[in-house]
Amino acid sequence: MNIKQILKEVLEEIKSSEDISEVNEFLNRLNKELYRNKVNAKAVFGGSFAKGVWLKGDYDVDIFVKFNIRYKTDELSDLLEKSLKKFKPVRVHGSRDYFHIKNSINYEIVPVLDIKNSKDAKNVTDFSPLHVKWVNSKGNKIKDEIMLTKKFMKAQGIYGAENYIRGFSGHVVDILVIYYDGFLQLLREATKWKAKQIIDIKNNYKGKALLMINKSKTEGPLVIIDPVQPDRNAAAAVGDEKFNKFIKSAKEFLRNPSRRLFVEQKINIEDLKKNKSSILIEIKSLSGKEDIVGAKILKSFDFIKKELTEFGIIKSGWQWDKKEKAIFWFLVKNKQLPKTFIREGPPLKLTEHVKKFKQKHKRTMIKNNKIYGIIKRKSTNINKFSDSLLKDKYLSDKVKSIKVIK
């Protein structure tokens, strides 16, 4: 099957033809509540729904509540909360508090100032409707290309700017696809990317972005000048791992086009349980804002992975249902280690250092004019070691509970 046929079939699968009457009805009800509470604001769709790049089966809808610019920015969240009472919202703390409402469709409701010019913004969220406007000004043809790119990145596990993902946000995807004029051209150009890749769609910095933008905003591998907010690197959240994985995935698809690369490859836990080299750890996550909870899970995973290094990690990963359960999995070379290990010490000619080394280590040996310590392991079995490790104080405030399940 050729590339064009693959992309055509994928697009047919991901384009949403679902009934959106419930979404429209919710927006109308929300606007009625704003009017009833005498709030000078209007609720409008935002994000992928407003841009027309909503993927089939994606039941998360962003809504911006645009307040008259005369309002004080620190009162917007409180005013909005009063109008949302009947919807039983969950308030989420951020640079400006916003709200979650969960029904059959999940709504994220964000208060913003109704600005016409980016200079009038008082908070980073105020720019969001301008992002939507910018994408919609590029016409409908490019939107199919954006949807293909989103699906591809989601399948590769690199979509999302959250701290625990450090991947490509929807806004970054929009800019990249528009800049390169399509999905395939983006993949072709991405195979040539180098670290500190700069994309300045409006040529604001005339090739000197790295010299003119605050260094703290350009620490990552990708620098994308926001077309709406030119002093911002829209891709600041993208980490090296996701940057490199996108390049690798782009090369793989261009070399061997396949629909498989548009399908998320979830780990089969039951298969892992049958693998003699695996160890599985189950996490019950804390409640709270997804980004914060996810970041704590990631820190827990990284900590455990580092501690298990001695067992020879072949492959590892984790998956989270974004509700309460996460699974960490590790494939290791050895599940049982020798009772002792060797620690390298200083050369024998460094007599003072050798003396101190002997004081720290009861058992030593000499080899090739160097001293070595013979260290007894606290635990040689990976399951016992893991059970002990999971009681570490570092993990106690990051997860609700944690246990080895295999």
Q: Is the pLDDT of residue 16 over 80?
A: no
How many CA atoms are closer than 13 Å to the CA of 127, on its beta-carbon side? 14
Tell me, what's the pLDDT at 213? 83
Summarize pLDDT for 21-46 with one digit per residue, the tens: 889 999 999 999 999 999 999 999 99
The angle that helices 170-180 and 183-190 make with each other, rounded to 10 degrees, is: 90
Q: Is the pTM of this model over 0.75?
A: yes
- Do residues 63 and 45 touch, judged by C-beta distance below 8 A? yes
Q: Which fold has domain 18-129?
A: Beta Polymerase; domain 2 (3.30.460)
Residue partners of 372: CB distance under 8 A and separation at least 6 = 342, 343, 344, 345, 364, 365, 366
Tell me, what's the pLDDT at 147? 96
Q: Which residue is associated with the tokens 């309002």?
A: 71
The type of residue at 104 is S
Q: What percent of the chain has pLDDT over 90?
A: 66
Alpha carbon distance 45, 124 (integer Å): 18
Between 384 and 134, the more confident residue is 134
Compute and round to an integer the Cα radius of gyration of the chain.
Answer: 26
Sign of the torsion formed by the C-alpha atoms of 281, 293, 54 and 102: positive
**pLDDT bucket at 403, cuts 50 / 70 / 90:** confident
CATH of domain 141-262: 1.10.1410.30
Q: Indicate the burial class of 119 (C-beta count within 10 angstroms; 0-12, 13-18, 19 or more).
A: exposed
Q: Is the pLDDT of residue 221 over 90?
A: yes
Tell me, what's the pLDDT at 20? 81
Give the bridge partners for 341, in sequence order: 375
Instruction: Domain ranges for the chain, please list them.
Output: 18-129, 141-262, 269-335+381-404, 347-373
Alpha carbon distance 177, 47 (integer Å): 16
CB atoms within 10 A of CB 367: 9
Is there a common fold for 18-129 and 269-335+381-404? Answer: no
Summarize pLDDT for 153-171 with one digit per residue, the tens: 999 999 999 889 999 999 9
Mean pLDDT on 205-212: 82
Sign of the torsion formed by the C-alpha atoms of 288, 294, 295 and 301: positive
Between 95 and 253, the more confident residue is 253
Alpha carbon distance 380, 338 (integer Å): 6
Q: Does domain 269-335+381-404 have CATH number 3.30.70.590?
A: yes
DSSP, collapsed to helix, strand or coil, labels residue 271 as helix
Q: Cite the DSSP H helix spans in 195-239.
A: 209-212
